[in-house]
Amino acid sequence: MFEFSGQILDCDGHLYMEPDVMAEIVGEAGGGWIIDYLREYVGSDADLAARDQARVDTWTIKGISALGSFSPRDRVDVFYTMGNHRWRCDKPQGHGSLDLKHALAQSCDVFYYSVGDRAGLDVIAEMARRFGYGAPTGLDLGREIPGIIPDSKTITPESGSARAHAINAAIGQGEINVTPLQQAVAYAAVANGGDIVLPQIVLRIEAPDGKVIREFQPQILRKLGLKDSSLAAVRAGLDAVVNEPGGTAWRSRLQDVHMAGKTGTAQVMKLGKQQKLDPTTQAYFSRDHAWFAAFAPAADPEVVVVVLNEHGGWGAEAAAPAAAKVVSAYFKIKREETPPPAVAPPLATSSVVQ
Protein backbone atom coordinates (compact mmCIF):
# COMPACT_ATOMS: atom_id res chain seq x y z
CA MET A 1 0.00 0.00 0.00
CA PHE A 2 1.27 3.43 -0.85
CA GLU A 3 2.54 5.26 2.17
CA PHE A 4 0.48 8.42 2.15
CA SER A 5 3.00 11.18 2.75
CA GLY A 6 0.84 13.93 4.17
CA GLN A 7 1.95 16.27 1.41
CA ILE A 8 -0.84 18.68 0.56
CA LEU A 9 -1.12 18.83 -3.22
CA ASP A 10 -3.76 21.51 -3.35
CA CYS A 11 -5.82 23.30 -0.78
CA ASP A 12 -8.47 25.72 -1.96
CA GLY A 13 -7.97 28.35 -4.64
CA HIS A 14 -6.92 31.14 -2.31
CA LEU A 15 -3.60 29.69 -1.31
CA TYR A 16 -1.30 31.09 -3.90
CA MET A 17 2.35 32.09 -4.02
CA GLU A 18 4.13 33.96 -6.78
CA PRO A 19 7.04 31.77 -7.89
CA ASP A 20 9.14 34.87 -8.57
CA VAL A 21 8.59 36.14 -5.06
CA MET A 22 9.52 32.76 -3.65
CA ALA A 23 12.69 32.58 -5.72
CA GLU A 24 13.73 36.09 -4.75
CA ILE A 25 13.26 35.45 -1.07
CA VAL A 26 15.07 32.16 -1.14
CA GLY A 27 17.90 33.64 -3.16
CA GLU A 28 18.38 36.58 -0.81
CA ALA A 29 17.92 34.82 2.44
CA GLY A 30 19.22 31.38 1.87
CA GLY A 31 15.78 29.93 2.38
CA GLY A 32 15.90 29.58 6.12
CA TRP A 33 13.08 31.94 6.86
CA ILE A 34 10.83 31.05 3.95
CA ILE A 35 8.68 29.08 6.34
CA ASP A 36 8.22 32.14 8.54
CA TYR A 37 7.29 34.07 5.44
CA LEU A 38 4.71 31.47 4.48
CA ARG A 39 3.27 31.49 7.96
CA GLU A 40 3.04 35.23 8.10
CA TYR A 41 2.09 36.09 4.56
CA VAL A 42 0.05 33.18 3.32
CA GLY A 43 -1.29 32.35 6.74
CA SER A 44 -2.55 35.85 7.36
CA ASP A 45 -4.93 36.33 4.48
CA ALA A 46 -5.43 33.01 2.76
CA ASP A 47 -8.82 31.53 3.27
CA LEU A 48 -7.34 28.16 3.98
CA ALA A 49 -10.37 26.08 4.74
CA ALA A 50 -8.20 23.72 6.68
CA ARG A 51 -7.67 26.29 9.39
CA ASP A 52 -10.59 28.61 9.23
CA GLN A 53 -13.63 26.47 9.19
CA ALA A 54 -15.01 23.73 11.31
CA ARG A 55 -18.18 22.11 10.18
CA VAL A 56 -20.30 19.32 11.39
CA ASP A 57 -19.60 16.10 9.64
CA THR A 58 -21.68 13.03 9.12
CA TRP A 59 -19.48 10.37 7.66
CA THR A 60 -16.33 9.49 9.50
CA ILE A 61 -17.87 9.54 12.90
CA LYS A 62 -20.28 6.92 11.70
CA GLY A 63 -17.49 4.52 10.93
CA ILE A 64 -15.65 5.52 14.08
CA SER A 65 -18.56 4.81 16.40
CA ALA A 66 -18.88 1.41 14.80
CA LEU A 67 -15.17 0.72 15.23
CA GLY A 68 -15.46 1.47 18.92
CA SER A 69 -18.10 -1.08 19.72
CA PHE A 70 -18.63 -3.39 16.91
CA SER A 71 -17.35 -6.32 14.96
CA PRO A 72 -17.40 -5.66 11.22
CA ARG A 73 -19.56 -8.77 10.84
CA ASP A 74 -22.21 -7.70 13.38
CA ARG A 75 -25.57 -6.79 11.94
CA VAL A 76 -28.25 -4.34 13.02
CA ASP A 77 -31.91 -4.55 12.11
CA VAL A 78 -34.13 -1.98 10.47
CA PHE A 79 -35.64 -0.21 13.45
CA TYR A 80 -34.02 1.06 16.59
CA THR A 81 -35.97 1.73 19.78
CA MET A 82 -34.91 3.90 22.70
CA GLY A 83 -37.56 4.30 25.42
CA ASN A 84 -40.82 4.88 23.58
CA HIS A 85 -39.10 6.29 20.55
CA ARG A 86 -38.67 4.13 17.51
CA TRP A 87 -36.29 5.51 14.90
CA ARG A 88 -36.50 4.98 11.21
CA CYS A 89 -34.04 6.20 8.65
CA ASP A 90 -34.72 8.23 5.53
CA LYS A 91 -35.59 5.11 3.60
CA PRO A 92 -39.24 4.63 4.64
CA GLN A 93 -39.25 0.85 4.40
CA GLY A 94 -35.86 0.71 6.16
CA HIS A 95 -32.57 -0.81 5.03
CA GLY A 96 -33.14 -4.24 6.53
CA SER A 97 -30.39 -6.01 8.39
CA LEU A 98 -27.01 -4.37 7.72
CA ASP A 99 -23.34 -4.97 8.46
CA LEU A 100 -20.76 -2.18 8.65
CA LYS A 101 -19.88 -2.27 4.95
CA HIS A 102 -23.46 -1.89 3.80
CA ALA A 103 -24.36 0.59 6.54
CA LEU A 104 -21.54 2.82 5.26
CA ALA A 105 -22.49 2.27 1.63
CA GLN A 106 -26.11 3.21 2.21
CA SER A 107 -25.41 5.67 5.02
CA CYS A 108 -28.11 4.19 7.25
CA ASP A 109 -28.55 6.40 10.32
CA VAL A 110 -30.46 3.75 12.25
CA PHE A 111 -27.47 1.42 12.18
CA TYR A 112 -25.34 4.13 13.79
CA TYR A 113 -27.94 5.10 16.37
CA SER A 114 -27.70 1.55 17.56
CA VAL A 115 -23.91 1.25 17.57
CA GLY A 116 -23.57 4.73 19.08
CA ASP A 117 -25.84 3.75 21.93
CA ARG A 118 -23.88 0.56 22.42
CA ALA A 119 -20.49 2.34 22.36
CA GLY A 120 -21.41 5.36 24.48
CA LEU A 121 -20.22 8.94 24.08
CA ASP A 122 -16.74 8.50 25.60
CA VAL A 123 -15.82 5.54 23.40
CA ILE A 124 -16.87 7.49 20.31
CA ALA A 125 -14.87 10.50 21.50
CA GLU A 126 -11.78 8.41 22.24
CA MET A 127 -11.93 6.79 18.81
CA ALA A 128 -12.50 10.16 17.08
CA ARG A 129 -9.43 11.63 18.85
CA ARG A 130 -7.30 8.70 17.71
CA PHE A 131 -8.14 9.70 14.14
CA GLY A 132 -7.06 13.26 14.89
CA TYR A 133 -10.39 14.99 15.43
CA GLY A 134 -10.68 17.49 18.27
CA ALA A 135 -7.06 18.67 18.02
CA PRO A 136 -4.92 20.59 15.50
CA THR A 137 -3.35 18.32 12.89
CA GLY A 138 0.04 20.04 13.16
CA LEU A 139 -0.12 21.67 9.70
CA ASP A 140 3.12 23.54 9.03
CA LEU A 141 1.28 26.83 8.51
CA GLY A 142 0.07 26.80 12.11
CA ARG A 143 -2.94 28.59 13.60
CA GLU A 144 -5.38 25.74 13.25
CA ILE A 145 -8.60 25.38 15.12
CA PRO A 146 -9.07 22.10 16.98
CA GLY A 147 -12.74 21.42 16.19
CA ILE A 148 -15.01 19.89 18.83
CA ILE A 149 -15.42 16.29 19.95
CA PRO A 150 -17.84 16.19 22.90
CA ASP A 151 -17.47 13.67 25.73
CA SER A 152 -19.14 13.09 29.08
CA LYS A 153 -16.99 15.79 30.72
CA THR A 154 -17.82 18.54 28.23
CA ILE A 155 -21.56 18.12 27.80
CA THR A 156 -23.97 19.94 30.10
CA PRO A 157 -27.07 18.31 31.67
CA GLU A 158 -29.32 20.89 29.96
CA SER A 159 -28.12 19.75 26.54
CA GLY A 160 -29.37 16.21 27.06
CA SER A 161 -28.21 12.93 28.54
CA ALA A 162 -24.88 11.32 27.63
CA ARG A 163 -26.91 8.59 25.95
CA ALA A 164 -28.75 11.08 23.73
CA HIS A 165 -25.43 12.79 22.93
CA ALA A 166 -23.90 9.43 21.99
CA ILE A 167 -26.69 8.65 19.56
CA ASN A 168 -26.39 12.10 18.02
CA ALA A 169 -22.61 11.89 17.88
CA ALA A 170 -22.76 8.50 16.18
CA ILE A 171 -24.09 10.15 13.03
CA GLY A 172 -21.74 13.12 13.36
CA GLN A 173 -24.39 15.58 14.50
CA GLY A 174 -24.82 17.55 17.72
CA GLU A 175 -21.77 19.43 18.92
CA ILE A 176 -19.24 17.69 16.69
CA ASN A 177 -17.15 20.03 14.55
CA VAL A 178 -14.35 18.94 12.28
CA THR A 179 -12.14 20.65 9.72
CA PRO A 180 -11.57 19.52 6.13
CA LEU A 181 -7.90 18.95 6.93
CA GLN A 182 -8.80 16.66 9.84
CA GLN A 183 -10.95 14.74 7.41
CA ALA A 184 -8.03 14.38 5.01
CA VAL A 185 -5.73 13.11 7.77
CA ALA A 186 -8.33 10.63 9.04
CA TYR A 187 -9.04 9.41 5.55
CA ALA A 188 -5.35 9.00 4.84
CA ALA A 189 -5.09 6.84 7.97
CA VAL A 190 -7.92 4.60 6.77
CA ALA A 191 -6.34 4.45 3.32
CA ASN A 192 -2.71 3.82 4.36
CA GLY A 193 -3.47 1.14 6.95
CA GLY A 194 -3.44 3.22 10.14
CA ASP A 195 -0.74 5.90 10.08
CA ILE A 196 -1.64 9.40 11.25
CA VAL A 197 0.58 11.62 9.12
CA LEU A 198 1.61 15.23 9.52
CA PRO A 199 0.01 17.36 6.79
CA GLN A 200 2.68 19.50 5.14
CA ILE A 201 2.22 22.25 2.63
CA VAL A 202 5.91 22.83 1.86
CA LEU A 203 7.60 20.02 -0.04
CA ARG A 204 11.04 21.55 -0.54
CA ILE A 205 12.89 24.84 -0.74
CA GLU A 206 15.07 25.37 -3.81
CA ALA A 207 17.52 28.11 -4.74
CA PRO A 208 16.97 29.90 -8.08
CA ASP A 209 19.58 27.58 -9.66
CA GLY A 210 17.54 24.56 -8.60
CA LYS A 211 19.78 23.54 -5.71
CA VAL A 212 17.72 21.99 -2.94
CA ILE A 213 18.18 23.98 0.25
CA ARG A 214 15.83 21.99 2.40
CA GLU A 215 13.55 19.02 1.83
CA PHE A 216 10.61 18.18 4.07
CA GLN A 217 10.23 14.47 4.71
CA PRO A 218 6.94 12.68 5.41
CA GLN A 219 6.30 12.30 9.11
CA ILE A 220 4.15 9.69 10.78
CA LEU A 221 2.89 11.19 14.02
CA ARG A 222 1.40 8.02 15.49
CA LYS A 223 -0.38 4.79 14.71
CA LEU A 224 -4.13 4.35 14.99
CA GLY A 225 -3.71 1.07 16.82
CA LEU A 226 -6.67 -0.63 15.15
CA LYS A 227 -6.90 -4.11 13.75
CA ASP A 228 -6.19 -4.45 10.05
CA SER A 229 -9.51 -6.26 9.68
CA SER A 230 -11.39 -3.25 11.13
CA LEU A 231 -9.78 -0.80 8.70
CA ALA A 232 -10.31 -3.25 5.84
CA ALA A 233 -14.02 -3.35 6.69
CA VAL A 234 -14.20 0.45 6.59
CA ARG A 235 -12.35 0.53 3.27
CA ALA A 236 -14.75 -2.06 1.85
CA GLY A 237 -17.67 0.12 2.95
CA LEU A 238 -16.15 3.25 1.39
CA ASP A 239 -15.51 1.32 -1.81
CA ALA A 240 -19.14 0.18 -1.89
CA VAL A 241 -20.35 3.77 -1.40
CA VAL A 242 -19.06 4.57 -4.89
CA ASN A 243 -18.81 1.28 -6.71
CA GLU A 244 -21.84 -0.78 -5.74
CA PRO A 245 -25.39 -0.06 -6.90
CA GLY A 246 -27.28 1.42 -3.95
CA GLY A 247 -24.15 3.20 -2.66
CA THR A 248 -24.83 6.88 -2.01
CA ALA A 249 -22.17 8.04 -4.52
CA TRP A 250 -22.83 5.37 -7.18
CA ARG A 251 -23.58 8.11 -9.71
CA SER A 252 -20.10 9.63 -9.19
CA ARG A 253 -18.17 6.43 -9.91
CA LEU A 254 -15.32 6.81 -12.39
CA GLN A 255 -14.51 4.69 -15.40
CA ASP A 256 -10.77 5.21 -15.37
CA VAL A 257 -9.99 4.91 -11.65
CA HIS A 258 -11.57 3.02 -8.77
CA MET A 259 -12.38 5.68 -6.16
CA ALA A 260 -13.59 5.01 -2.59
CA GLY A 261 -15.30 7.65 -0.48
CA LYS A 262 -18.18 8.73 1.69
CA THR A 263 -20.93 11.27 1.32
CA GLY A 264 -21.88 13.54 4.19
CA THR A 265 -24.72 15.98 4.64
CA ALA A 266 -24.14 18.20 7.64
CA GLN A 267 -27.04 19.99 9.25
CA VAL A 268 -26.65 23.71 9.84
CA MET A 269 -28.19 25.86 12.55
CA LYS A 270 -31.58 27.01 11.35
CA LEU A 271 -31.86 30.78 11.06
CA GLY A 272 -34.54 32.54 13.05
CA LYS A 273 -37.24 34.56 11.24
CA GLN A 274 -35.96 37.69 13.01
CA GLN A 275 -32.82 37.57 10.86
CA LYS A 276 -34.68 39.66 8.21
CA LEU A 277 -32.84 38.20 5.24
CA ASP A 278 -34.25 38.16 1.75
CA PRO A 279 -35.75 34.76 0.87
CA THR A 280 -32.89 33.75 -1.43
CA THR A 281 -30.24 34.45 1.20
CA GLN A 282 -32.36 32.81 3.89
CA ALA A 283 -32.74 29.70 1.72
CA TYR A 284 -28.98 29.58 1.08
CA PHE A 285 -27.98 29.77 4.73
CA SER A 286 -30.62 27.20 5.69
CA ARG A 287 -29.23 24.61 3.32
CA ASP A 288 -27.03 21.85 4.73
CA HIS A 289 -23.33 21.51 4.01
CA ALA A 290 -22.38 18.87 1.47
CA TRP A 291 -19.29 16.74 2.10
CA PHE A 292 -17.44 14.13 0.19
CA ALA A 293 -14.14 12.58 1.25
CA ALA A 294 -12.41 10.17 -1.09
CA PHE A 295 -9.25 8.21 -1.70
CA ALA A 296 -8.02 6.47 -4.83
CA PRO A 297 -7.23 4.01 -6.20
CA ALA A 298 -9.40 2.13 -3.71
CA ALA A 299 -7.17 -0.95 -3.62
CA ASP A 300 -3.84 0.90 -3.47
CA PRO A 301 -4.53 4.48 -2.38
CA GLU A 302 -2.17 7.32 -3.09
CA VAL A 303 -4.32 10.43 -2.96
CA VAL A 304 -7.04 11.77 -0.65
CA VAL A 305 -9.56 14.40 -1.75
CA VAL A 306 -11.97 16.19 0.59
CA VAL A 307 -14.73 18.44 -0.73
CA LEU A 308 -16.83 20.64 1.54
CA ASN A 309 -19.49 22.55 -0.37
CA GLU A 310 -20.87 24.99 2.17
CA HIS A 311 -24.65 25.21 2.04
CA GLY A 312 -24.47 22.99 -1.01
CA GLY A 313 -27.17 20.56 0.10
CA TRP A 314 -26.74 16.80 -0.27
CA GLY A 315 -23.25 15.31 -0.23
CA ALA A 316 -24.12 12.88 -3.00
CA GLU A 317 -25.28 15.66 -5.32
CA ALA A 318 -23.24 18.68 -4.31
CA ALA A 319 -19.84 17.30 -3.26
CA ALA A 320 -19.24 13.79 -4.66
CA PRO A 321 -19.25 14.87 -8.33
CA ALA A 322 -16.63 17.57 -7.62
CA ALA A 323 -14.41 15.10 -5.71
CA ALA A 324 -14.70 12.63 -8.59
CA LYS A 325 -13.55 15.31 -11.03
CA VAL A 326 -10.53 16.16 -8.88
CA VAL A 327 -9.56 12.49 -8.55
CA SER A 328 -10.01 11.97 -12.28
CA ALA A 329 -7.90 15.04 -13.09
CA TYR A 330 -5.14 13.93 -10.71
CA PHE A 331 -4.76 10.59 -12.47
CA LYS A 332 -5.04 12.18 -15.92
CA ILE A 333 -2.14 14.51 -15.12
CA LYS A 334 -0.19 11.60 -13.68
CA ARG A 335 -0.72 9.56 -16.85
CA GLU A 336 0.40 12.48 -19.00
CA GLU A 337 3.53 12.97 -16.92
CA THR A 338 4.48 9.30 -16.92
CA PRO A 339 6.61 8.40 -19.94
CA PRO A 340 5.20 5.56 -22.02
CA PRO A 341 6.86 2.18 -21.43
CA ALA A 342 9.78 1.43 -23.71
CA VAL A 343 8.72 -0.56 -26.74
CA ALA A 344 10.10 -4.11 -26.60
CA PRO A 345 12.20 -5.06 -29.64
CA PRO A 346 10.37 -7.34 -32.04
CA LEU A 347 11.00 -11.00 -31.44
CA ALA A 348 13.35 -12.68 -33.84
CA THR A 349 11.52 -15.24 -35.93
CA SER A 350 13.68 -18.03 -34.62
CA SER A 351 12.69 -17.36 -31.00
CA VAL A 352 8.94 -17.61 -31.54
CA VAL A 353 7.65 -20.78 -29.97
CA GLN A 354 5.45 -22.59 -32.36
Count of residues that bind Zn ion according to CB under 5 A: 4
Nearer to Zn ion, 116 or 134 (CB): 116
If the CB atoms of residues 77 and 256 are measured against Zn ion, the closer one turns out to be: 77
Give me the least distance between CB of 249 and Zn ion, in Å please.
16
We find the least distance from the C-beta atom of residue 171 to Zn ion, in angstroms, to be 11
> C-beta of 167: minimal distance to Zn ion in Å?
14
Smallest distance from Zn ion to CB 234, Å? 18
Q: Given the complex with Zn ion, which of 51 and 62 has the nearer CB atom?
A: 62
In the chain the first and final C-alpha atoms are separated, in Å, by 40
What residues between 58 and 117 interact with Zn ion by CB under 5 A?
89, 95, 108, 110
Omega before 245 within 30 of 0, i.e. cis: no
What does the buried/exposed string (b/e) look like for 244-276 if buried means 16 or more CB atoms within 10 Å of the residue's CB? beebbbbebbbeebbbbbbbbbbeeeeeeeeee
| Minimum distance from residue 236 beta carbon to Zn ion (Å) | 18
Our CB check for Zn ion shows the closer of 80 and 187 to be 80
Task: Please state the closest distance from residue 108 (CB atom) to Zn ion, in A.
Answer: 3
Q: Which is nearer to Zn ion, 3 or 90 (CB)?
A: 90
CB of 104 to Zn ion, least distance (A): 12
Taking the least distance from each CB to Zn ion, the nearer of 110 and 298 is: 110
Q: Which is nearer to Zn ion, 90 or 256 (CB)?
A: 90
249-268 positions binding Zn ion, by CB under 5 A = none
176 neighbors 67 (Cβ within 8 angstroms): no
Q: Per-residue x/- mask for Zn ion, residues 284 to 323, rule CB under 5 A? A: ----------------------------------------
Binding site for Zn ion (CB under 5 A): 89, 95, 108, 110
